[in-house]
Structure 1
Amino acid sequence: MSCVPWKGDKAKSESLELPQAAPPRIYHEKQRRELCALHALNNVFQDGNAFTRETLQEIFQRLSPNTMVTPHKKSMLGNGNYDVNVIMAALQTKGYEAVWWDKRRDVSAIALTNVMGFIMNLPSSLCWGPLKLPLKRQHWICVREVGGAYYNLDSKLKMPEWIGGESELRCCVADVLGSVCVDGGPTVVCGGS
């Protein structure tokens, strides 16, 4: 099963047995504007108050105080579109370490006991109604463990997508790194400092 909904195999996912226990309570923030970095951060912390748009704007301004055009992407109206530098600085404000994962490394090297979650940057289409526009976009998603299982907490999903245990997570992350992040989209592994 792919942890990226548009990459999944319907036949595979329909035959997949879901856990029998009642699902845990999962915080899943939904997509607004270009705030996917905010949603990914709040989803990884499982707290809608972990960060606000204003908090990320302050971090952005601190990283690039005297310039209107910066390498730390954002919309000019403060509606989001933040890059990995803003995400990494935001994690540091909460005492967490962010590690930029090199997709050439084997995912079996990730010490999952030290990982709070994954924040991955994936290619995304921009749609206007039923039309898919030919613009290259990026989208931040969160994958993390909740209640003993891993979930895709992509803010574009209607609800969290169950991935499974550690082996399924490693397959999912390897799949994303190997096929979806073809343009070198960053993957941030979030762990305690």
Structure 2
Amino acid sequence: MENSPTVYHERQKKMLCGLHVLNNLFQEGLFTQSDLDDICNRLTPSRVFNPHKSVLGLGNYDINVITSALQSKTLCLIWFDRRKDVKCINTDQIKGFILNVPTDFKLGFVKVPFMDFKHWYVVRKVGELYYNLDSKLPKPDELGTNEEMLNFVSEKLTASESHLLLVVEPDIEKDGSWYREDPKS
């Protein structure tokens, strides 16, 4: 019997899903809330209200913070056009799949009206299998093979406000080798 790999998985705290996306992607606690707050301050210095995070200091980091954090580790983000078939993604070239999906804001069990937020989470390969590392899950969700993972991602993109970002190395972004013209190959 094969030993399954240890999968690093941070659980949701406050509104720190952007932080959890990064650490779950890198499979270690590489970034802290303070690190991401510092990035926010570099992106928009000398402002009382920082547009890149929650006013309350709970997190809710935007894509600019995630992009900057990834760039500090020499990685790039590619926005995937959800109108395309996910099978055109050359998954061998992808470090991780970041999803941004709508989510309700709740106080306990009560949904707060007019408080809709977007939630970040990452899907990535650990060992031979793909995992959904959503910080709202109690543990990593094994998605399985490449085909099963792409089916999962495709299903998530059916929600009108969902987005997919591909984490790649700079040379992959530059040469476009993340994309296959023929999704069947």
Query: Which TM-score tier does this pair reach, normalised by the shorter chain?
Result: 0.7 to 0.9
Which residue number in structure 2 is paired with residue 190 of structure 1? 167
- Confirm whether residue 124 of structure 1 aligns to residue 81 of structure 2: no
What root-mean-square deviation, in Å, do the aligned CA atoms of Structure 1 and Structure 2 show? 1.6
Aligned partner letter, 1:122: V
Could you report, residue by residue, the CA deviation over 1:46-73 in whole angstroms, capped at 9, with x for unpaired residues? 011x11111111111111113334542x
Listed as ranges, the gaps of 5+ residues in structure 1 are 1-19
Q: How far apart in 1 are the matches of 2:98 and 2:22? A: 8
User: For residues 162 and 120 of structure 1, what CA distance do their matches in structure 2 show?
Assistant: 16
Aligned equivalents of 1:52, 1:167: Cα separation in 2: 33
Are 1:160 and 2:137 matched, yes or no? Answer: no
Structure 2 unaligned segments of length 5 or more: list them: 171-185
- Measured after TM superposition, the shift of residue 99 of structure 1 is 0.9
Shift, 1:125, TM fit: 1.6
Tell me how many residue pairs correspond in the alignment.
169
**Partner residue, 1:76:** 55
1:125-144 equivalences in 2 (<5 Å): 125-134=104-113, 135-144=115-124
Given the two structures, how large is their TM-score scaled by the length of structure 2?
0.85
CA–CA distance in structure 2, aligned partners of residues 176 and 68 of structure 1: 36
Identity %: 43
Extract structure 1 runs of 4+ deviating beyond 3 A: 68-71
Pairs within 5 Å for 1:1-150? 21-48=2-29, 50-72=30-52, 74-134=53-113, 135-150=115-130
Q: C-alpha deviations, 1:79-126, integer Å up to 9, x for none?
A: 210111111111000011111112112211211111111111111122
- How far 1:36 moved relative to its partner? 0.4
Give the SS at the match of 2:98.
Answer: strand
Report deviation, 1:37: 0.3
- The residue type equivalent to 1:27 in the other structure is Y
Q: Is the 8 Å Cα contact of residues 84 and 186 (structure 1) preserved in structure 2?
A: no
Report if the CA contact (8 A) 2:41-2:50 is conserved: no
Q: Hey, what's the Cα distance between the residues in 2 that align with 1:75 and 1:63?
A: 14
Which amino acid is the alignment partner of residue 65 of structure 1? P
